[in-house]
Amino acid sequence: MNTSLTLGAGLGLKADHYEAAFDCAAKGVWFEVHPENYMIDGGPRLAWLETIGSRHPLSLHGVSLSLAADCAPDVEHLQRLKTLIDRVQPALVSEHLAWSTWRGQYHPDLLPFPRTGQALQRIADNIQHTQDVLQRRIAVENPSHYVQLEGHACSEIEFLAELSARTGCGLLLDINNVFLSAHNMGYDANAYVDAFPGEAIMEIHLAGHSSDPGGAALLIDSHDAPVAEPVWALYQRLIQRVGPRPTLIERDDHIPPFGELLLERDRAQTLLEGLPCNRL
Amino acid sequence: MQPSLTDFQDLFVEALYNPEADTLTLLTDQPGFSVYRNTVMKGAVDALQANFPTVERLVGSEWFLAAAAIHARHAPPVDARLVYHGSGFPEFLDRFEHAQQMPYLGNVARLDLLWNQCHTAMEEPRVDVTRLAALTPEELARRVLKPRRAAQWIWFADQPVFTIWRHNREQTPMPETLAWHGEGALLVRSGGVVTWHALTVGECAFLDACKAGAPLELAAQQATETEPSLDMLDLLTRLVGADAFAANEPA
């Protein structure tokens, strides 16, 4: 299925918004969740996801498959993801270019690694294995960066492009991550967005960020504010080059009423619909 | 020399939890490394806060967050499904030196864990009351009643834990005097909502026997041995009314 034909701009689904999300009739709308929160046996939360999924397209955006760990993905975790996929039939499934589970412990963050040849081989194997088990293509997201790592053998874009070439996986371009990583690491966000392989992009993320409360001159991927204007500008620059792609507004903290989030989503929807090559 | 990916990840985890670690200093000396430390800690603490709301109401947010941070440093989550994080938190509170004045705190946490189990348990059809009522006394005696997975119970032998938990969960005033004796609790999800009910020791013994697969007559016998004054008909009516039993075929 060419999801770009059916998915416009979507919203991260919050428990407080279940009823409003179900009732929402906005054109192109879809909803994304972290599958980890729904890998349960039953109960009202899972029932709500199925109910909303009966009316709207869903996306499962994983945070803990730990594709960049130097080991295969956890067998039980991958099976639970497959079970959830079979249950709610999402339009999109995605994960991060990061690691979080290691030696039986889960460290709830998206952790960095040196982009070496060894890491490339390991992560390509992990993506391939994941796609084989799930029997579908996944999208892999560029993470946010806060530290300079030694030992990178290539750029992040080269690394992601090679993963896509080796495994057939798609890419999820998080433009807020590009913006704040460019600020934190000292590179040009426009150049990053321009160089990103457009044909592989299955989904785009937009979110808000904040300044480091610790006082360092860092921007933090906090998802606690509206999307910043420079991020909107990067988004427009990208979609004018690559065309419309399913676009998500992420918000995980200081969550406003549903109607307010929907207005922010409408801005992305309007931009998508206004593209010359628009097929939404 | 570039460490292997495995070595890098071992060193990174060590540096996350141990501020004194002298490995990966090129990373840990950067202000950005504390973003990872803070996020990892916040993720684990937020999960404990979400999963133990009654403990937090009982001790206050400041105390709770301090205790949760200590737990998070020593016991990172072992399941990426954070809704299940905290299975070791009750034992931690049992031993926690600053909780020695609140010896019931670990048990209050056990009831919060039980609430989560009920809330996320699989759906099961409830026992058909009309079919149950139509059984002859002999058939009823042989019938095995299987508790639903969304029905969980626990007996606390020495402490009025259910009373403490319930008043904090419901945010109602605690009784002025608290009778210091054992209490049991049944938590059941029905129609998407978890409700709670007090249980006596014999009532808990009855449910234990049912769960072990004992037919009704044997389960009742074990329950009345534990508590001779138990009114079985009243108990059965209350348990069936609370949707404690799953539909199943006669044994």
Tell me what the mean pLDDT of segment A245-265 comes to.
96
Reported pTM: 0.94
Identify which of A100, A113, A150 has the shortest CB distance to residue B26.
Answer: A150
- On the question of pLDDT at B1 being above 60, the answer is yes
pLDDT at A279 over 60: no
More confidently predicted of B250 and B174? B174
Q: Spell out the domain ranges in chain B.
A: 31-120, 124-251
Rg (CA), chain B: 23
The encoded tokens of residue B10 equal: 């071992």
Q: In this complex, do B83 and A218 lie within 8 Å of one another by their Cβ atoms? A: no
Summarised one tens digit per residue, pLDDT across range A80-129 is 999 999 999 999 999 999 999 999 999 999 999 999 999 999 999 999 99
Residues of B in contact with A113 (CB under 8 A): 5, 8-9
User: How would residue B250 be classed by pLDDT, with cut points 50, 70 and 90?
Assistant: very low
Tell me the sheet residues that pair with A206. A249
Structure tokens at B145: 């009643």
Strands A92-96 and A170-174, by their bridges, are unpaired
d(CA B187, CA A30): 35
- Provide the mean pLDDT of chain B: 95
Which residues of A, range 75-94, sit inside 8 Å of B by Cβ?
A: 77, 80
Average pLDDT over residues B61-90: 97
Task: Report the distance separating Cα A85 and Cα A90, nearest Å.
Answer: 6
pLDDT (average), residues A190-214: 95
**By C-alpha distance, which of B23, B58, B45 is closest to B165?**
B58
pLDDT at A277: 65
Q: Which residues of A, range 208-237, sit inside 8 Å of B by Cβ?
A: 212, 214, 216, 218, 220
**CA–CA separation, A109 vs B156, rounded Å?**
37
CA distance A225 to A180: 14
In the prediction, which pLDDT does A278 show? 55
Q: Dihedral angle at the C-alpha atoms of A235, A236, A240, A246, nearest 10 degrees?
A: 50
The DSSP secondary structure of B205-244, one letter per residue, reads HHHHHHHTT-BHHHHHHHHHHH-TT--HHHHHHHHHHTT-
CATH of segment(s) B124-251: 3.90.930
Chain A residues with beta carbon closer than 8 angstroms to that of B149 = 41
Of A114, A13, A27, A7, the closest CA to residue B27 belongs to A114
B208 and B87 Cβ atoms separated by less than 8 Å? no
Classify residue A15 as left (phi > 0), alpha (psi -120 to 50) or beta: alpha
Q: Which CATH class is domain A3-273?
A: alpha beta
pLDDT tens for B110-149 read 999 999 999 999 999 999 889 888 999 999 999 999 999 9
| Helical pair B5-17 and B33-51, crossing angle rounded to 10 deg | 70
Instruction: Report the DSSP beta bridge partners of residue A211.
Output: A219
* Mean predicted confidence (pLDDT) in A71-81: 97
SS3 at position A113: coil
Q: Give the per-residue pLDDT at A280.
A: 47
Torsion of CA B74, B76, B82, B87, to 10 degrees: -50
Minimal Cβ distance to A106: which of B38, B78, B120? B78
Here the tokens at position B193 are: 């909502």
Scanning B54-113 for CB atoms below 8 A from A yields 76-83
B chain contacts of residue A184, beta-carbon cutoff 8 Å? 32
Which pLDDT value is given to residue A208? 94
| d(C-alpha A115, C-alpha B127), whole Å | 57
Assign B249 a pLDDT band (cuts: 50, 70, 90).
low
pLDDT, residue A41, reads 96
Whether A119 contacts chain B with CB within 8 A: yes
CA distance B127 to B182: 30
Contact A238, A204 (CB under 8 A): yes
Contact map slice: A 140-169 vs B, CB within 8 A: 145-151
How far is A26 from B169, CA to CA, in rounded Å?
38
Which pLDDT value is given to residue A235?
Answer: 98
Check residue B192 and give its pLDDT: 93
Contact at CB, A106 and B26, closer than 8 angstroms: no
- Do B35 and A212 make contact, defined as CB atoms within 8 angstroms? yes
Round to whole Å and give the CA distance between A231 and A175: 6
Cα of B137 to nearest chain A Cα, Å = 35
Q: What percent of chain A has pLDDT over 70?
A: 97
Among the partner-chain residues A45, A146, A150, the one whose CB lies closest to the CB of B36 is A146
Cβ neighbours of A45 in B, within 8 Å: 119-120
pLDDT digits (tens, 9 = 90+) for A24-42: 999 999 999 999 999 999 9
Phi, psi of A116 (to 5 degrees): -95, 170
A127 and A66 in contact (C-beta within 8 Å)? no
> What span, in angstroms and rounded, lies between the C-alpha atoms of A120 and A162?
8
- Low-confidence winner among A180-184, B189-193, B245-249 (lowest mean pLDDT): B245-249
Q: Is B29 exposed, middle or buried (0-12, 13-18, 19+ CB in 10 A)?
A: exposed
Task: Kindly compute the dihedral angle of the four CA atoms of residues A236, A239, A245, A251, in this order, to the nearest 10 degrees.
Answer: -20
Question: Which pLDDT band holds residue B193 (cuts at 50, 70, 90)?
Answer: very high
Contact of A117 with chain B, judged by CB distance below 8 Å, is answered with no
Distance, in Å, from the CA atom of B129 to the CA atom of A263, rounded to the nearest integer, reads 50
What is the Cα–Cα distance from B212 to B145, expressed in whole angstroms?
10
pLDDT for the residue B202: 97
Angle, alpha carbons A187-A190-A195 (nearest 5°) = 90
- Distance, in Å, from the CA atom of A159 to the CA atom of A198, rounded to the nearest integer, reads 15
- Strands A58-61 and A31-33 come out as parallel
Q: What is the pLDDT of residue A239?
A: 97
B64, B202, B55, B74: which is closest to B115 by C-alpha? B55
Contacting residues of A for B43, CB less than 8 Å apart: 107-109
pLDDT given for residue A214 in this prediction: 74
Judge residue A105's burial from the number of C-beta atoms within 10 Å of its C-beta, 0-12 exposed, 13-18 middle, 19 or more buried. Answer: middle
pLDDT for residue B55 is more than 90? yes
Give the residue carrying structure tokens 């799953």: B246
| B121 contact A CB<8A | yes
**Domain positions in chain A:** 3-273
